[in-house]
């Protein structure tokens, strides 16, 4: 089975496994103090990263959040550059100055990584406006969490993008918790797709634990945006299996709830589907795991060998450098 559907599923599965194994190793490296600072994991939410980036074009700008390891990897930023950034080394994608929450790579049109909740939305709207004014046929992909819905930027940006019909795909990763606050304790209307539609955008909810569903929804939305119909909003209903961050004691949700969501693990779901339809066997899974393991080992070696920022360079880039 090597048709287009099987190839799409295999690529989505490979990306999800790659993201999952990378973050699992990051937990070990963090515990060993090789990675410092804050770190937020997307384990459980891999279908969103794989599906959205599979649909986005190579020239489309991407704006992300502080939970962006998966977005960056699926976008094509080399794993070595991502991990070196988390190690604080100058071969990192932000020269080691940003760390886990500030991955940035203009070459891959990946504009953060942003530590501020909803902070990426105005950036995305600005990028879309610039592309529209310049006549470039791009669509900006803007990822953010459900916690952003409580921020003023969310409403200002959706209104302005709809009013000016800007080419933006708003992708809300609704994992049901804004840090430790359950969505029903903070939002009077928990159907975020309905709420976004009130601004006049095309908006719908998607099973965020199904990478194929995410990819197809994003493709449909991007076709509409490129056709001139204005921005779209996807509410990607998903769940993070781990705590909000490495410092989160996770006392705000029952373990039984987490276990219930793990039954919808996007990797297991895709693997089972492909096995049942004869698209995947043990040999293919072993090959993917082996390739990913080698990529991670190479990334660790590159990060550990990467140089630290020289002290005399610490004030560089405070202002733009003219060539």
For 43, phi and psi rounded to 5 degrees?
-60, 125
Distance CA 1, CA 264 (A): 25
pLDDT at 247: 86
Mean pLDDT of 205-220: 98
Helix (H, G, I), strand (E, B) or coil at 247: coil
Helix (H, G, I), strand (E, B) or coil at 239: coil
> Mind listing the pLDDT tens digit for each residue in 265-320?
999 999 999 999 999 999 999 999 999 999 999 999 999 999 999 999 989 888 88
Determine which of 2-6, 85-89, 235-239 has the lowest per-residue pLDDT on average: 2-6
pLDDT at 184 over 80: yes
Tokens of 31: 């515990």
pLDDT at 2 over 80: no
Distance CA 225, CA 87 (A): 38
pLDDT at 104 over 90: yes
> Mind listing the pLDDT tens digit for each residue in 161-178?
999 999 999 999 999 999
Average pLDDT, the chain: 96
pLDDT at 4: 86
pLDDT at 322 over 80: no
For 205, phi and psi rounded to 5 degrees?
-95, 150
pLDDT band at 138 (very low <50, low <70, confident <90, very high): very high
pLDDT at 168: 98
DSSP-assigned beta bridge partners for residue 235? 172, 205
Distance CA 120, CA 53 (A): 17
pLDDT at 215 over 80: yes
Instruction: Supply the DSSP symbol for 111.
Output: -
pLDDT at 191: 97
DSSP-assigned beta bridge partners for residue 232? 169, 202
CB 101 within 8 A of CB 113: yes
């Amino acid at each position: 089975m090597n048709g287009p559907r099987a190839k799409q599923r295999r690529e989505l599965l490979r990306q999800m496994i790659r993201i999952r194994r990378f973050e699992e190793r990051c937990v070990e490296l963090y515990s060993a103090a090789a990675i410092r600072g804050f770190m937020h994991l997307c384990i459980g939410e891999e279908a969103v990263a794989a599906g959205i980036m599979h649909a986005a074009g190579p020239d489309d700008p991407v704006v992300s959040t502080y939970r962006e390891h998966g977005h960056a990897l699926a976008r094509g930023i080399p794993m070595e550059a991502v991990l070196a950034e988390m190690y604080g080394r100058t071969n990192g994608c932000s020269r080691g100055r940003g760390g886990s929450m500030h991955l940035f790579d203009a070459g891959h049109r990946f504009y953060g990584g942003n530590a501020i909740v909803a902070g990426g939305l105005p950036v995305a709207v600005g990028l879309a406006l610039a592309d529209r004014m310049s006549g470039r046929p791009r669509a900006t992909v803007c990822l953010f969490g459900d916690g952003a819905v409580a921020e003023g930027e969310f409403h200002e940006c959706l209104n302005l993008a709809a009013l000016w019909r800007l080419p933006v795909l708003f992708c809300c990763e609704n994992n049901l918790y804004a840090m430790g606050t359950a969505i029903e304790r903070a939002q009077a209307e928990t159907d975020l797709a309905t709420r976004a539609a009130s601004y006049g955008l095309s908006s719908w909810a998607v099973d965020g634990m199904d990478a194929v569903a995410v990819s197809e929804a994003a493709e449909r939305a991007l076709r509409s945006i490129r056709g001139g119909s204005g921005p779209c909003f996807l509410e990607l209903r998903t769940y993070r299996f781990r705590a909000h961050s490495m410092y989160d004691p996770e006392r705000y949700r029952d373990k039984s709830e987490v276990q219930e969501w793990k039954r919808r693990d996007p990797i297991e779901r895709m693997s089972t589907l492909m096995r049942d339809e004869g698209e995947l066997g043990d040999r293919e899974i072993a090959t993917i795991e082996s390739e990913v393991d080698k990529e991670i080992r190479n990334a660790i070696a590159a990060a550990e060998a990467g140089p630290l920022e020289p002290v005399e360079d610490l004030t560089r880039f405070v202002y733009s450098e003219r060539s």
